[in-house]
Amino acid sequence: MSTDHIFQKYCRGATSTAIFGEIICQKLKEAVEQSVYKKTARDLTDEMRSNCESLNGNRSNLEKHILKFLAENENFSAYMDYINYPRDHVKDFISDEVSRYITDTFSHNILPKLKENIELLHQTIAKAAHESIEHVQVNSGDAGLWLKSFTQQLSDELIFSEKDLSGVKHDDVDDFKLLEDVIRKELPDIMSDISSELKTEKLDPKFRPDELLIDHFCQCCWVQCPFCGAICTNTIENHDGDHSVPFHRLDGVNGYYYDDTKHFGIDFCSSVVVSKKSFKSSGQWFPYTEYRRAGGVYAKWSITPDLSDLPYWKWFVCRFQRDLEKYYGKSFQGKGEIPEYWTKYTKEHGIKKRETMKKILKQQNLKQQRLREQIMKTLSMKRANSLP
Ligand SMILES: [Zn+2]
Ligand SMILES: [Zn+2]
């Protein structure tokens, strides 16, 4: 409704009070819409953080789901996107999860939520209009005071201030009872206008939970292992201490190959660091056992030797052997020949093994932690006993 239209409507016996009331309602529409979508985005974020399996843990858990999803879809270019641009890939994965969730739950979950939030705001606005009249009466104030009180009461819920009504005359507004009546009468129409526009499942990206979830999962360390490209799992960006990851990948996945040949490497970082092999960095050779000497990012990684070479990546190189060879212009030959028994691994086995290994590693870490605590306790007891 335009201001002209409002003026015509009240032309006969029009009062500036009524016009003022209608303009307030029109201006509130956008603020209500924004607030409702924002609040719903926050609610949805919390909901997805507990209901979606991929989003109910930390980034390591999310990565587990991404690897599972990639294996299920067997799409090579999606894999390379994840390997080369992990942060962007994770962001896109989160947005896709949000889209899926919105489509699946829009009518029975999101729509009722949006409507409930609209109704709550409706009540808040009506209450603020009424209480502001009392405030004006107690203080013998004018329309300026009414507006101040009204916008202040809404400031926690809406982005709406006196500035939004600058230029709207209200010097001769003095019938506050009429003002409240107009607002009470107009509000339901405004609210149902907003409700009827909620048909679409495609919520404006600004008001979807994507950003909140991406902030939650992506503000962490993204440094990749210089050999295999696995991402450090530390949850703090620019953290102190070394980068580390429980599971390294096969170095060939990251394009590693034997010098002077075109043969891929098929070593896992966690086993190659105790081998007699060497690698070249900036034209210089370094033994893997002293990989930190290569400086730079090498010096900042802690690669624990273990036998956690996952069948997942063995399955991956078997499944995408030709694609990897074409992509990197190298081949799985010579020292990089894929062992026959690797071809027996299935992706289901790879996914399952990764999960059981993770549990084992977690238990080992717990045991080590308990042992450390016990040693510290014994030491401090000894120290206490030896005090004079
Ligand atoms: Zn690695
Ligand atoms: Zn790190």
pLDDT recorded at residue 12: 39
Distance (Å) from CA 298 to ligand 1 centroid: 10
> Which ligand approaches the C-alpha of residue 272 most closely?
1
Looking at the structure, tell me whether residues 206 and 273 fall in a common domain: no
- Give the pLDDT score at 11: 44
Ligand nearest the Cα of residue 251 is 1
**Which residues, in sequence order, are bridge partners of residue 231?**
224
Q: How many structural domains are present in the chain?
A: 2
Distance 302 CA to ligand 1 centre (A): 10
Of the candidates 311, 315, 331, the one whose C-alpha atom is nearest the C-alpha of residue 323 is 331
- Of 216, 237, 259, the position where a domain reaches its end is 216
Domain contains 328: yes
Residue 99 lies in a domain: yes
Find the 93 Cα to ligand 1 centroid distance in Å. 23
Calculate how far, in angstroms, residue 245's C-alpha sits from the geometric centre of ligand 1.
8
Both 113 and 16 in a single domain?
yes
Ligand 2 centre distance from Cα of residue 221 (Å)? 5
Same domain, 207 and 345: no
Q: With respect to residue 232, please indicate whether it lies within any of the assigned structural domains.
A: no
Dist. CA 17 → ligand 2 center (Å): 62
The answer to whether position 236 is within a domain reads no
- Domain C-terminal end among 165, 194, 216: 216
* 385 within domain boundaries: no
Q: Please, are residues 49 and 57 in contact by the beta-carbon 8 Å criterion?
A: no
Q: How many whole angstroms from 239 Cα to the centroid of ligand 2?
A: 6
The answer to whether residues 194 and 263 belong to one domain is: no
Give distance in angstroms: CA of 42 to centre of ligand 2. 29
- Do residues 251 and 227 touch, judged by C-beta distance below 8 A? yes
Distance 217 CA to ligand 2 centre (A): 14
In this structure, are 62 and 123 located in the same domain?
yes
Q: How far away, in angstroms, is 171 Cα from ligand 2 center?
A: 62
Residues 6+ apart with CB under 8 A from 287: 276, 277, 278
User: Does residue 8 share a domain with residue 107?
Assistant: yes
Helices (H), 52-142: 59-73, 76-84, 86-105, 111-138
Write out residues in the chain with pLDDT < 70, as ranges: 1-14, 199-206, 308, 361, 364-366, 368-369, 372, 375-376, 378-388
Q: How far is the CA of 231 from the centre of ligand 2 (A)?
A: 8
Ligand 2 centre from 139 Cα, in Å?
60
Token couple for 168 = 């709207």
| 223 alpha carbon, closest ligand | 2
Ligand nearest to the CA of 253: 1
């899926």: which residue's tokens?
100
C-alpha Rg value of the chain to the nearest Å = 32
- Give the pLDDT score at 351: 80
Residue 351 token pair? 């996914």
Which of these three, 168, 194, 216, is where a domain ends? Answer: 216
Cα gap 375→358, rounded to integer Å: 26
Residue 242 belongs to a domain: no
Between the CA of 195 and the centroid of ligand 2 the distance, in Å, is: 46
Residue 231 within any structural domain of the chain = no
249 C-alpha to center of ligand 2: Å? Answer: 16
Q: Which ligand neighbours the alpha carbon of 221 most closely?
A: 2
Residue 58 CA to ligand 2 centre (angstroms): 15
Q: How far apart are CA 184 and CA 242, in angstroms?
A: 62
Ligand 2 centroid to 99 CA: how many Å? 30
On whether both 94 and 47 belong to a single domain, the answer is: yes
> Which ligand is closest to the CA of 232, given by its number?
2
For residue 163, the CA-to-ligand 2 centroid distance in Å is 47
Which pLDDT belongs to residue 34?
86
Q: What is the DSSP string of 199-221?
A: T-S---GGGSTHHHHHHHHHSS-
Whether 74 and 182 map to the same domain: the answer is: yes
HSE (side-chain half, CA atoms, 13 Å) at 49: 16
Do 258 and 212 lie in one domain? The reply is no
CA distances from 328 to 49, 78, 291 (A): 38, 16, 24
Same domain, 262 and 211: no
Instruction: Tell me: do 201 and 291 sit in the same domain.
Output: no
User: In which domain, by residue range, is 157 found?
Assistant: 3-216
b/e map 6-23, b = 16+ CB within 10 Å: beeebeeeebbbbbbbbb
Same domain for 318 and 263: yes
**Under DSSP, is residue 31 helix (H, G, I), strand (E, B) or coil?**
helix
Strand partners, 304: none
The CA dihedral of 186, 191, 196, 200, to the nearest 10 degrees, is 150
